[in-house]
Structure 1
């Protein structure tokens, strides 16, 4: 991820500064600043609009290796001036606070777009974006109680298909350091996940994006 740590250039700064409601942070890279701006404007990662604006800013094509949400210096909730974050707060609860602060109404397109951004950022910060790293899969396996961890990515994926955990809870537990709850069956997990008003459904649209999220959702959402 060295590409995300480049210094701000005058050309990039010109693009980032062209938005009157956005103030670039000189203490982080231009890529992280682009990610902060994208969060504020609701640009979906790797969408046509995202790629077009990326080209305008950086004068090159976007590639997944440049994903700003994978940079450890990126914080979705710090992207909104005036909002005070609580680092120990669950992602869903933190987003609910942010939505109230920004006056995003639940169920609206704006609310759903930003909720996806929040979970994408939190997931990437805690798990990364590269689905080809065995150590990440092994850490995840141990996190959900699979020990010893399998010796290959294929075996990890197969083992995860037999584990029933809520992915929103998984991200929240990684953030808080607590242990994620396991369910005895897929149907039990489904009832828990779909309970109205609890905010336990992970944004399904993230499964369309290449990377670790897609691979993990495929493993969890298609159990054996």
Structure 2
């Protein structure tokens, strides 16, 4: 039961962080993960985010602290860290084309 509660909390926290999904929200996400440059559309933001391997839990913690989250060199490194740390975002809660979808990597 505690695991489900934790999963609901992280989903809620990301939804509150991200906002309604405007271009400004997507651009802020790009900045928050440490992507340099200007992304003039949601599609460009989504494409850029596919190149970044970060843990969503760490992203939310980093934003609170005013820093960028740790980045991993590839999906395998992220997967190993995620499994070992237990910081797994519940895949069942992912909205079809939302921002979480752009950040998720297959880890298990």
SS at match of 2:98: helix
Mapped contact 2:34–2:68 kept (Cα < 8 A):
no
The one of 189, 193, 197 aligned to 2:82? 193
Mapped contact 2:23–2:41 kept (Cα < 8 A):
yes
Query: How far apart, in 2, do the equivalents of 1:157 and 1:188 lie?
Result: 21
Cα offset, 1:165, TM superposition: 0.7
Give the aligned partner of residue 3 of structure 2: 112
Give the aligned partner of residue 42 of structure 2: 153
- Flag the 1:219–1:151 CA change in 2: closer, same or farther, 3 A: same
TM-score, length basis structure 1: 0.43
Query: How far apart, in 1, do the equivalents of 2:35 and 2:64 lie?
Result: 20
Cα offset, 1:112, TM superposition: 2.5
1:162-203 deviation digits (Å, cap 9, x = unpaired): 1111111011111232321111111111111111xx231112
Give the aligned partner of residue 71 of structure 1: none
- Flag the 1:201–1:222 CA change in 2: closer, same or farther, 3 A: closer
SS at match of 1:155: helix
Cα offset, 1:111, TM superposition: 1.4
TM-score, length basis structure 2: 0.84
Give the aligned partner of residue 136 of structure 1: 25
Query: How far apart, in 2, do the equivalents of 1:150 and 1:164 lie?
Result: 18
Gaps of 5+ in 1: 1-109
Aligned pair count reads: 106
